[in-house]
Amino acid sequence: MQNLGQHIMHDDNIQKLHQSDVITGFTSSGFVRLLFEYLEKQDIDPEALLGIPPPEPLDRGLQRYPMVQWRAMLQLASDRLDDPLLGLRLGKNITTAHLGVMGYILSSCQNLASAMIRMREYERLIHETSQLHINVLDFDLTLTWGADRGHHGPLVDECGLASFIQIVRNIAIKTSPSIQVCFTNKTPPDIQPYIDFFGCPVLFEQPVTSIRVGLWQLATKLRKPDEILLQMLEQLADMMLEELPQVSSNIEQLVRQSIARLIYNGEPQLEQIATELNITPRTLRRRLDEEGLNYRALLDDVRKHLAERYLLDPRLRLGEIAQLLGYSEQSAFTRAFRRWTGYTPHERQQQLLHGYKRQ
């Protein structure tokens, strides 16, 4: 089965599947401050345009802005500047100072591998959105952000990835271009600015947002390593994390979200979900048992829910839906769907589409 993460979608099959998703999550004041600074450089009053005051100078990055508000701010600024590439331009202007404690933690690490570990550990200090996933395959390292909190749109995604790349360029002694960058968003009229910025092939209309680099780049040394400072900053970061609202501990919701994130690359096993949740498989089984839940039943229910959602889009072929649900063969999807509903996927699609058209 071809990995969907490597499959180039030449139509709109994936692009508009989740456009109606509710966007959740937050971004930190550091990114909002970055936007304010950029607008001021363009001789635009950001407070008048965005309708909000600038972030407090000493908020330590703990002031949170809902992701839907951040997207709206970026859209207002992009429209005012008539600049669809605003996300890239903001990313190019970011500094470690915009990330607050997180930025100084990253720059104090010995190498990129150490920085990646801290980035995943403390990412809630800069945003609470789709979780960063790090995967290694052969000689490549892939950083992936799913869409479990909704699709944020081009400006948010491009600002996020461009900021990530620029921070790495800022803190590393020497960097090499990525191998590939992928976005879920629609292909823009001109992709050359993206290729110029990222320095590698840039694909759009992909199942996930991702950056692929050579595994050897993890050994890249950073400009200002300081082990003692790093330890002090991590203690501060740990205290700051405790000040943030706690993430929901609902085990059923967390397992469902993890399944939905991983299923594009094949059927996720319970052990993979446990790794995602930073607990042991034994602990996960125990917590599911305490709630009267069964992992296989949850997996089937997530698949069924996603399947009926995908079947509403006539542009998706049944084979593509099977792949999106983690099946290696369409026939396996057909058997499972008949077991869930008593209908074949084709029969159910006709029912859903006809019912949808009558509404």
Q: Would you state the pLDDT for residue 8?
A: 30
Q: Would you state the pLDDT for residue 249?
A: 52
| CA gap 71, 155 in Å, rounded | 7
- The CATH number for 251-358, chosen from 2.60.40.10, 1.10.275.10, 1.10.10.60, 1.10.150.390, is 1.10.10.60
Per-residue pLDDT reduced to its tens digit, 288-316: 887 788 999 999 989 988 888 788 777 88
Q: Would you state the pLDDT for residue 12?
A: 40
Q: Would you state the pLDDT for residue 173?
A: 94
Three-state DSSP at 213 gives strand
Does pLDDT of 267 surpass 70? yes
Per-residue pLDDT reduced to its tens digit, 85-136: 999 999 999 999 999 999 999 999 999 999 988 988 888 899 877 777 888 8
**In degrees rounded to 5, what are phi and psi of residue 305?**
-60, -45
The pLDDT of 162-179, averaged and rounded, is 94
Sorted by where each begins, the domain ranges of the chain are 4-243, 251-358
Q: Would you state the pLDDT for residue 147?
A: 64
Residues 6+ apart with CB under 8 A from 286: none
Q: Which residue has tokens 């050994």?
A: 219
Q: Would you state the pLDDT for residue 358?
A: 36
Does pLDDT of 39 surpass 70? yes
Determine the residue type at 118.
R
Does pLDDT of 144 surpass 80? yes
Does pLDDT of 357 surpass 50? no
Q: Would you state the pLDDT for residue 15?
A: 37
Mean pLDDT lowest among 17-26, 142-151, 262-271, 328-337: 17-26
- Helix/strand/coil (H/E/C) assignment for every residue in 233-277: HHHHHHHHHHHCCCCCCCHHHHHHHHHHHHHHHCCCCHHHHHHHC
| CA gap 84, 75 in Å, rounded | 9
Contact 80, 49 (CB under 8 A): yes
Report CA-CA distances (Å) from 16 to 19, 92, 131, 312, 351.
5, 28, 21, 11, 21
Q: State the average pLDDT for the chain.
A: 85
Contact 46, 36 (CB under 8 A): yes
Does pLDDT of 149 surpass 80? no
**Which position has the higher pLDDT, 39 or 242?**
39
Instruction: Write out the H or E segment, with its range, that includes residue 78.
Output: helix 67-81
For the entire predicted model, the pTM comes to: 0.65
Does pLDDT of 25 surpass 80? no
Pull the structure tokens for residue 170: 């800022």
**Which position has the higher pLDDT, 43 or 130?**
43
**Which position has the higher pLDDT, 91 or 207?**
91
Return the percentage of the chain with pLDDT > 90, whole number. 51
Does pLDDT of 3 surpass 50? no
In what order do the strands lie in the sheet containing 180-182? 132-137, 140-145, 209-214, 180-182, 202-203
Q: Which residue has tokens 């892939």?
A: 142
